[in-house]
Structure 1
């Protein structure tokens, strides 16, 4: 999977408690460039804790200067390669990126700084994305990206998967009618799981009408290094796009 995981090491039924994902968890020492980017950008881009303490009360547009543009959330963005691409591609869209691990967040912010990407349409959350999901108002997001999440292969760990009936209920609540849920994986069993879970949910409709609708990358898609590495190893990415009814 991506170089960082976004899912919590606790069981899904502990959702009522504060999630046990520690955003400051450090996998390896930060380079000076990463530390500089983290110190420079994180204080101004992070969503303040008090803003997501009350369930279903946070209006995502209130986090941005532009109150009219679409807002997309990427859950577990790893090193942020995809997020940087869509920031460049969709210059009038507001983006919220959630990544609990400091190595991923620092890599992303370093690249944002070095590429001089505008940050007025960017907010980040260095903790469990479900904290934000629970805080967002009903029907307040235009789209959600969940790209190459942790597969949690063992059956007893399936309740930790970021796509499951309980979390799909949450995503359905915060997505606008017509909003998109975009999921990818190169793990066949997980792709099938995510597809079946979303297809069986009453609030979502699968947009694919034939094999190319999930086997081929969407128009404008930029493959990440992780995706290319998987393809070189003989793994094939699935692109699952669902629409909120």
Structure 2
């Protein structure tokens, strides 16, 4: 049985400056990316976890949604390597599982359309993103007016954006900007659970390292979900 990688060997700074030159490699267009290096069937992902951290969401959802291909995007080198090694070890230990998840080192703020075709995703996850507290750093927040058009581009009508944070100010920021964007409309937790999204929401709350830390400290978690609509109401 393959041993799971030890997280302590992959540690690095909690956050990375998305505007720095990270010497990233990325496809010129989505059709230039060979998805067979990530998923056995060679098909592109349907869900994307932006800033996936140590891959908690991917690992929790993989066996629950074996027919959904889920991709994590992470900008930090060591953390991406950990997730890749974690997935590889899980695939060895459980040969019939975890083939539907993978990870790519990427800067989603700059290159998201290079990876995903128009309307190709049905879910986007933004779980406990960097709050960038200082006003001059707000431009680096992963939910911002300049990025929402890209999220609307890659998300199909009916697709869901999931956001969660333990920072009330950031929750208000994300909620306000998503609410003001004409191609997204809020969808409440009860409605999503009634539609069968309960396991996804449970993972959103509890699967990540940050989510578990907040839970241990008995902190608040602020959830906001939005649905991509066909056209403005």
TM-score (norm 1): 0.71
Instruction: Tell me the residue number matched to 2:166.
Output: 186
**Structure 2 unaligned regions, length at least 5:** 1-11
Classify 1:60/1:119 alpha carbon distance in 2 versus 1 (closer, same or farther; 3 Å): farther
CA distance in 1, matches of 2:99, 2:32: 14
Q: How many residues align?
A: 202
1:238 aligns with 2:222: yes
Match of residue 35, structure 2, among 48, 59, 63: 63
- Report the 3-state secondary structure (helix = DSSP H, G, I; strand = E; otherwise coil) of the residue aligned with 2:63: helix
CA distance in 2, matches of 1:142, 1:22: 29
Instruction: Tell me the residue number matched to 2:90.
Output: 115
Instruction: Tell me the residue number matched to 2:104.
Output: 125
TM-score (norm 2): 0.74
1:228 aligns with 2:212: yes
CA distance in 2, matches of 1:126, 1:67: 19
1:22 shift after superposition: 5.1
Question: What per-residue deviation string (whole Å, max 9, x for no partner) do you get for residues 64-123 of structure 1?
Answer: 554778611111111111111111221100112111112212222232233225464334
CA distance in 1, matches of 2:13, 2:192: 27
Question: What per-residue deviation string (whole Å, max 9, x for no partner) do you get for residues 149-196 of structure 1?
Answer: 100000111011010011111100111110111111111110111111
Classify 1:103/1:114 alpha carbon distance in 2 versus 1 (closer, same or farther; 3 Å): same
Please give the root-mean-square deviation of Cα atoms over the aligned residues, in Å: 3.0
CA distance in 2, matches of 1:7, 1:98: 15
**Structure 1 unaligned regions, length at least 5:** 11-18, 24-47
CA distance in 1, matches of 2:158, 2:33: 18
- Report the 3-state secondary structure (helix = DSSP H, G, I; strand = E; otherwise coil) of the residue aligned with 1:191: helix
CA distance in 1, matches of 2:163, 2:16: 14
* Structural mapping, 1:30-69, within 5 Å: 49=26, 52-54=27-29, 58=30, 63-64=35-36, 66=41
